[in-house]
Amino acid sequence: MRLRNLLPTPKTTVLAVDDNQASLDLIQMILQNGDYTVLTAVNGRHALEVLESSGDTVDLILLDRVMPEMDGIEFCRRIKADEKFRALPIIMQTAAGRPQEIREGIEAGVFYYLLKPLEVETLLSIVASAKDKVRKYRQDKNEHLQRQESISMVRSMECVFRTVEEGEMLAAFLAPFFPNPDLTLTGISELFLNAVEHGNLAISYELKSQLVRANTWRDEVNRRLSDPRFRDRAVTVTFSKKNNEYTLQIEDEGEGFNWQDYLQVDTARVTHNHGRGIAMANMMSFDELIYNDRGNQVTAVVHFAR
């Protein structure tokens, strides 16, 4: 069993777990050429050992499903039950593409899927998407840890933001007002991003897929923020804490969307490089997500009893 690059590094560090040494070597070659540091493990049990010894340096996990000793599903369950590693994004690579098997992975904590045989462009796109989310999560967490005093005195507030960056800052500010800031931060960030890009800026799901693949998503967001059709649109956020629950109402000025299709992870979309944000918020961050009929307003609820 080979362990490589265990020292802390400024690069994004991927833990690749696969019992096939040829697959590990291929993954390592592709990702290191993409400026990633790669740690390796040959099964789930070995990967747990790597996390225990080097978990502070790992940013995301690329995981095979079928392995001896401990398979990918059991490994997911183990780390999602451990607070130290719960927030690590997991990308599962598998030849098992049947909906029931994909759903089993989702329930174990997998939100990114790669179907074998691996394609270089798809692998890099999915890894980059997961990297961006963990980077933002850690930045936001560092910021909200600095704001712990006086939070209990706030009962309600109204905020307005316009850009993706403003939404990220506001999410980091609001998360500590909830009982579980770590889990809630992810959900708030995803709902804010959805309100800007899909709501106010009218970037469709299909267009975002193309933009992410071409690495031009942020350029298009910035272009539309300057477009007279969209530049004056804002997202209004209202926070309140009363009657044994926390509520966050988010309203954009877009045309709305068919939100029913996104409350749960659709097995047909799990290999896409985006599209899990609302489902993640619904499944991990809030007790309820309540949309208006049009889809341009959502109320996220967390109960005190939680």
What pLDDT was estimated at residue 143? 67
pLDDT over threshold 60, residue 248: yes
Give the per-residue pLDDT at 267: 67
**Alpha carbons 221 and 241: distance in angstroms, whole number:** 33
Q: State if pTM tops 0.75.
A: no
Q: List, by residue range, all CATH 3.40.50.2300 domains of the chain.
A: 12-134
Asked if the bond preceding 117 is cis, omega within 30° of 0, the reply is yes
Task: Give span(s): CATH 3.30.565.10, the chain.
Answer: 145-303
66 phi, psi to nearest 5 deg: -100, 110
Task: Give the tens place of pLDDT for each residue, 209-238.
Answer: 899 889 999 999 999 999 999 999 999 999
Determine contact, residues 111/278, Cβ cutoff 8 Å.
Answer: no
pLDDT in tens, 167-218: 999 999 999 899 888 889 989 999 999 999 999 999 998 999 899 889 999 9
DSSP bridge pairs for 132: none
Q: How far apart are CA 171 and CA 173, in angstroms?
A: 5
Q: Can you give the pLDDT at residue 132?
A: 83
For 243, left (φ over 0), alpha (ψ -120 to 50), or beta? left
Joined together, the tokens standing for residue 169 give 């800052």
Cis omega before residue 10 (within 30°)? no
- 229 Cβ contact list (under 8 Å, min separation 6): none
Contacts of 156 (CB under 8 A, 6+ apart): 238, 239, 240, 241, 242
**The token pair that represents 68 in the structure block:** 């001896």
CB 127 within 8 A of CB 60: yes
H helix count then E strand count, the chain: 10, 10
> For residue 244, what are its two tokens?
């044994």
pLDDT tens digit string along 31-84? 988 779 999 999 999 999 999 998 788 989 999 988 988 988 899 999 888 888
The first and second tokens of residue 283, run together, are 């499944």
User: Average pLDDT of 274-302?
Assistant: 89
Cβ atoms of residues 38 and 32 within 8 Å: yes
Q: How confident is the model at residue 249 (pLDDT cuts 50, 70, 90)?
A: very high
Looking at the domain covering 12-134, what would its CATH class be?
alpha beta
Q: How far apart are CA 82 and CA 31, in angstroms?
A: 27
Which residue in 23, 22, 20, 88 sits closest to 50, CA to CA? 88
CATH assignment of 145-303?
3.30.565.10
DSSP 146-187: T--TTGGG--EEEEEE-SHHHHHHHHHHHGGGSSSHHHHHHH
The pLDDT value given to residue 1: 32
Residue 272 has pLDDT above 90, yes or no: no
Are the beta carbons of 5 and 13 closer than 8 angstroms? Answer: yes
Residue with token string 């096939």? 20
What percent of the chain is modeled with pLDDT above 70? Answer: 88
